[in-house]
Amino acid sequence: MVPYKVHTKMTNIKKQLKTTERVSISGRLLGAMPGLRVLREYKGSDLGPDVLSGLVICLVLIPSVLAYAELAGSGPVGGIYAAAAATIAYFLFASSRHMNVGPDGAVALLAGVVILPLTGGDPAKALIASSWLAVFTGIILVTAAALRLGVVASFLSTPVLMGYLNGAAFVIIVSQWGKLFGIDLEQEGFIQRLLEWVQKLDDMHTTTLAVGAGVIVLLVIAKWLIPRLPPLVPVFFIMFVASYFIDFKAMDVGVIGEIRELTPHSVGFTLDLDDIAKLAVGALGLAMLIFPEGVLLGRAMAEKHDYEVNADRELFALGSANLASGAFLGFSVGGSQTRTLLNSASGGRTQVANLVSAILLVAFIVFAADLLTRFPKVAIAAILVYTGIGLIDIAGIRRLWRLHRKTAWIAITTMGAVIFVGVLPGILLGTAMSIGILLAELARPNDALLGRVEGSEDLHDVGDDEKAEGIPGLLVYRFYGPLIFANVSYFIERLQGFIDGQEHTVQQVIIDASAIPSLDYTAAEKLQPYLQKLADQGIELGLARAHLPLREMDLGNEMDALFPEERNFATVADAVAAFKERGSTR
């Protein structure tokens, strides 16, 4: 029989273990889902600003949902599901306090391009295909987050994004051009669609065009009168009220109709292996677009409001948002710049603001969806045309051309490919060009022969400063980049060219390693015999300004012997002074 005191002590230990276990599980859960921590630690003082910001976001979200669902080809119900599910999922896992994730024009356009060939434009079929595309996109993003591959997405450089957005602007405009004129266009290509529009101009529906043009005019006026408020909000409200008093359907202007009729419960539509492969490729392109845009936007907000965001956490949150959107029959989603900036400007403090916007959206659809049945479709087309015009940034490409023509060509090529070849091929081509230029710069980085200006102790690039002259007997060489297998031959070629071009016999070569972050094994293997050859010719070798990681590398005894401790210098000036001192004692 266990003594009472011992039994009591064991019971207390068990209780403490259970409590510790519960705390541990709770801690892990809060760590995995930062949104739960936000709710647990939520301050009452943040509620008012977050609710107000959520209301403002929702006012922009409603027309955005309708417009971007049109781009994605899945109908209004897909946009509703995408906005609500993605917002909640992102809320749970995000590290950003302000970024709004949901339907986005650039993402919806690419999603529509991927699924349209598989569904023939059927909204019910598109709803299913787009949901699977969102799931595949989410899987790619979540897997990349688990493998900490967020850096890979950075290959979608700023010029590629600029080119894509400019190209997407023209594609969006042309995709809605027929609807703006009340003309049914069947061609998909940019040029083909424009030619078909010209051929069918006689079929134009004047009333539809008048309504669409009127909406565009209202958007321009609203932007001018209320610059701080997205023009979508007042114009959507005006058209929403107008549709209540005006029977657009009786005027033969297309209207949205009953939203619930678009649900695909009775649609027999399955995906074969070929469809799945096409969706997977499209999902990869979407993932490469969604992540860099989202992280750049999240970091901008974090910097503005003085907090940090975790790139891998954002990658996982964006993937979770797409998985949730797909699970609830939505389409692929990304960070919305408009709604994010609006959240910040209207005083939102936490992700609760975005959560409120999703709740209000669902409430609107549940209680007021019938009011949208009379809303004219051409108003949505007009909103998309206006959005497309706003995306055009020719000035940005001109600025890039002035600063760096090589990267400007990436933007121009990407834009042209997006317009004339296709959205996904354009993104892939732009990314390939970025990687190609990166590899070219790694294989042929900049370098410099350093010399001294008379009367100064500083060393300058002889090629940049006409007054800089080499020091007789000494050659100081700077290489801008890591020494790797792809550029070591170029390093040897350039260094030997400088040695051969000297008027005086070279007695010592100093390598300024300040811009050499690393040296790989293959480069070291190829570099060692060349440097040994220089040493055998009586040329001393020295190293200056080598970073700690480079100094600590184990390159073998043969390489270490070429750069003895006394010829490793903290600065280039020290190396030059040591050379002159040895020269004066000879």
Q: Which residues pair with 542 in a beta bridge?
A: 510
Using an 8 Å Cβ cutoff, are 60 and 233 in contact? yes
What is the C-alpha to C-alpha distance for residues 350 and 335, in angstroms, rounded to an integer? 16
C-alpha closest to that of 487 among 517, 450, 451: 517
The contacts of residue 230 (CB under 8 Å, 6+ apart) are 60, 338, 342
Contacts of 213 (CB under 8 A, 6+ apart): 180, 382
d(CA 376, CA 387): 17
Q: Which sequence spans correspond to the domains of the chain?
A: 46-437, 446-585
Distances (CA, A) of 76 to 71, 372, 459, 497, 545: 10, 10, 66, 66, 62
- Output the six-digit token pair for 118: 């598989």
Using DSSP bridges, classify how beta strands 447-452 and 508-512 pair: parallel, antiparallel or unpaired: unpaired
Cα distance between residue 367 and residue 62, in whole Å:
14
Residue 417 sits at φ, ψ, to 5 deg, of -65, -40
Rounded CA-CA distance 421/424 in Å is: 9
Cα three-residue angle 499-500-503, rounded to 5 degrees: 90
For residue 266, the model assigns a pLDDT of 42
CA–CA gap between residue 377 and residue 182 (Å, rounded): 10
Distance CA 376, CA 392 (A): 26
Residue 521: both structure tokens together: 């094994």
pLDDT one digit per residue (tens) for the chain, 586 residues: 445 455 555 566 555 545 545 545 555 655 568 888 888 888 989 999 999 889 988 888 888 888 888 888 887 888 888 999 999 999 999 989 999 999 998 899 889 889 888 887 777 778 889 999 999 999 999 998 898 876 665 566 778 888 888 888 898 888 889 989 999 888 878 888 899 999 999 999 999 999 999 999 999 999 999 887 788 888 888 998 998 899 999 999 988 877 654 444 444 556 778 888 889 999 998 998 898 778 778 877 888 888 888 888 899 999 999 999 999 889 999 998 888 887 887 788 999 999 999 999 988 887 877 778 888 989 988 988 888 888 888 898 999 999 888 889 999 999 999 899 887 788 888 888 888 888 888 899 999 988 887 766 678 787 776 677 788 899 999 999 999 999 999 999 999 999 998 888 999 999 999 889 888 888 888 998 999 999 999 999 999 988 877 777 766 667 777 788 888 898 888 898 888 887 644 5
Give the per-residue pLDDT at 11: 60
Report residue 158 as tokens: 């700023």
Task: Give the per-residue pLDDT at 423.
Answer: 78
Whether 339 and 60 have beta carbons less than 8 Å apart is answered as yes
Indicate the DSSP class of residue 255: B
Give the architecture-level CATH label for domain 446-585: 2-Layer Sandwich (3.30)
Grouping H, G, I as helix, E, B as strand and the rest as coil, residue 465 is: coil
pLDDT of residue 380: 86
Q: Which two tokens stand for residue 244?
A: 């209540």
User: Are 109 and 347 contacting, i.e. CB atoms less than 8 angstroms apart?
Assistant: no
